[in-house]
A = this chain, B = another copy of it.
Amino acid sequence: MTSTRVPQADRTRAMRARLLEATVELLVERGFAGTSTTLVSERAGVSRGAQLHHFPTKNDLVVAAVEHLTELRGAELAEAVAALPQGRRDRRAVLRMLGDHFTSPVFAAALELWVAARTDEALLAAVAPLEQRVGRETHRLTVAALGADESRPGVRELVQATLDLVRGLGLAQTITDDTARRARILDAWADVLDKELTT
């Protein structure tokens, strides 16, 4: 009995994963409005019946994709932090890493959800608590990467400002791809943080 149940569970898990990956891809390529359940099942190679069994509505699918995306974003950021140069604290490298993270396809998919949730209460109810969790985790990783001592007055706000800055740069990126401008801004801010966080 176990030998038949285990593969079935594996198949189910793989099918769910394909559906969620397809949803995220379509959010990036076509936006929230352009992501239909039909396109998702086609992209994932999953029958409509099987898809509807797992996710009866578009919102069920999107909410699960939001959770999936949250894990993706956390894992991506943790990986990028781990890949930072060791030894001497290099805040320019930290900020460029954050700048890359907030302009990645995964950011674009999250942006689609944030903006759709602005005018969709059911989606907002799913997105808001996940965003809080991602926000706290991102903040924690950033504090560590910047070597910021949040017990000093004003430091916590500068870390938050840093994250709001890269979020703004990510949004600007959707209209104009200006990598050189972004690098100059992040370098200038890294120089400020070098002064503010170490004196």
Contact = CB atoms under 8 A, between A and B. Distances in A.
Interface of A: 29-34, 108, 111-112, 114-120, 124, 127-128, 131-132, 154, 157-158, 160-161, 163-172, 174-176, 181, 184-185, 187-189, 191-192, 196
A184 B185 CA distance: 22
Contacts of A132: 176
Q: How many copies does the complex hold?
A: 2
Given A171-B171, A174-B118, A188 B154 contact: yes
A36 to B, nearest CB: 12
Contacts of A114: 171, 174-175
Contact of A115 (B31, B154, B157, B181): B31
Contacts of A165: 161, 164-165, 168
A117 B167 CA distance: 18
A131 B171 CA distance: 12
Nearest to A157: B188
A169 to B, nearest CB: 5
A29 B120 CA distance: 10
A101 to B, nearest CB: 13
Contacts of A120: 31
